Amino acid sequence: MFQAQPYSTRLTFKASDRPEAQEARERLAARYGDAGDDAQIVVALGGDGFMLEMLHETILNQKPIYGMNRGSVGFLMNEYSEDDLLGRINAAERAVIHPLAMVAIDSRRRQHRALAINEVSMLRQTRQTAKLRISIDGKVRMGELVCDGALVATPAGSTAYNLSAHGPIIPLGAQVLALTPISAFRPRRWRGALLPQSARVTFEVLECDKRPVSAVADNYEVRDVVEVHISEDRGSTLSMLFDAGRSLEERVLTEQFSA
């Protein structure tokens, strides 16, 4: 999954709206050139949110992304430096990830499809707790989960919302997904499950009129859902480049030992 590979020197620079990111883009483009649509590598300047935005934009063309932190959070980004950028990219380690595919059916029986790089979340919309039935590969595994919500996270997304919800950190090569409850009320002690990457997860919303629930695939939200199906999309491949010795796998491992 991780290997150093030489890439073309044709780069394009994308920046978030933050002033420091925009200024960095101008300096780097002037120094290294910007190949635009002909580039083979996208250099993303911003924080983790901007990296997710760029990953969604490159799903179709599958261009590798090398991120540098010009935002507030930079778990998915490399340290910012304008020197020897081509050398760093050519020596970078490549992380390949697959997003989750979500099919959400709303109360009017309309289908909504989206991809999630981090997680698909089920979230209560009102003060009422949500009631969810959870099936794995067509078999009901939990008849009723009373909670604020639940999520399915990829290994790459396991250190994001999943970790905040007390879910497990997953090494990228583990080939599993995290199913994590959000503020479970009943069964109170249930902490979630680890599922094989081939698992197909279905959430059914119980008492949906009284207890409405939304489904969120990264930043794409569908409200008033009654049923949501989630599985890994093996047909979509996303690539991120990390400085040698600072691979995403290494970052995920280090995170498990942080205070």
Are both 198 and 245 inside the same structural domain? Answer: no
Q: What percent of the chain has pLDDT over 90?
A: 81
> Per residue in 1-54, pLDDT tens?
444 444 457 999 999 999 999 999 999 999 999 999 999 999 999 999 999 999
Do residues 174 and 155 touch, judged by C-beta distance below 8 A? yes
Q: What CATH number is given to the structural domain containing 245?
A: 3.40.50.10330
Picking from 238, 220, 234, 194, the residue whose alpha carbon sits closest to that of residue 104 is: 220
**Does residue 6 lie within any of the structural domains?**
no
Average pLDDT over residues 230-253: 91
Binding site: residue ranges? 48-49, 118-119, 148, 156, 159-164
Chain centroid, CA 232 distance in Å = 12
Residue 163 forms part of a structural domain = yes
- Average pLDDT of the chain is 93
Q: Is there a contact between 10 and 38 (Cβ–Cβ < 8 Å)?
A: yes
- Indicate if 91 and 119 belong to the same structural domain: no
In this structure, are 42 and 120 located in the same domain?
no
For residue 54, the SS3 value is helix
The pLDDT value given to residue 87 = 94
For 173-203, the pLDDT digits (tens) are 889 999 999 999 999 889 999 999 999 999 9
For residue range 60-80, list pLDDT tens digits in order. Answer: 888 999 999 998 878 899 999
Question: What is the structure's pLDDT at 150?
Answer: 98
- 224, 198: one domain: yes
Please tell me the distance from the alpha carbon of residue 216 to that of residue 102, in angstroms, as a whole number: 9
What one-letter code names the amino acid at 100? Answer: L
Number of structural domains (the chain) is 2
Does residue 223 belong to any structural domain of this protein? yes
- Do 104 and 226 lie in one domain? The reply is yes
Distance CA(227)–CA(189), nearest Å, equals 25
Binding residues for NAD(+): 48-49, 118-119, 148, 156, 159-164
pLDDT in tens, 118-134: 999 999 999 999 999 99
Domain that holds residue 93: 11-97+237-255
Say whether 61 sits in a helix, a strand or coil: coil
Strand duo 238-242 + 65-69: pairing:
parallel
In a domain, 198, yes or no: yes
Examine residue 187 and say whether the peptide bond preceding it is cis (omega within 30 degrees of 0).
yes
Average pLDDT over residues 148-164: 95
Is the pTM of the predicted complex or chain greater than 0.85? yes
Helix boundaries (H) for 101-245? 161-164
Same domain, 138 and 109: yes
> 33: which strand partners?
none
pLDDT of residue 3: 44
Between CA 183 and CA 149 the distance in angstroms is 7
What number is the average pLDDT over the span 96-117? 96
Residue 4 domain-assigned (yes or no): no
DSSP label at residue 213? E
Position 195 in a domain: yes
Quick one: how many helices (H) and strands (E) in the chain? Answer: 5, 17
pLDDT computed for residue 1 by the predictor = 46
> Are 73 and 111 contained in the same domain?
no
Segment 102-117 mean pLDDT: 97
**pLDDT exceeds cutoff 70 at 215:** yes
pLDDT of residue 4: 46
Residue 5 covered by a domain: no
- Give the active site residues: 48
Backbone angle region of 218, left / alpha / beta, with phi > 0 → left and psi within -120 to 50 → alpha: left
- Whether residues 81 and 109 fall in one domain: no
User: In this predicted structure, what is the pLDDT of residue 2?
Assistant: 42
- Whether residue 242 is found in the same domain as residue 226: no
CATH of the domain at 207: 2.60.200.30
What's the confidence (pLDDT) of residue 108? 97
Predicted confidence at residue 259, as pLDDT, reads 60
* pLDDT of amino acid 196: 97
* Spatial separation of the C-alpha atoms in residues 75 and 117, rounded to whole Å: 14
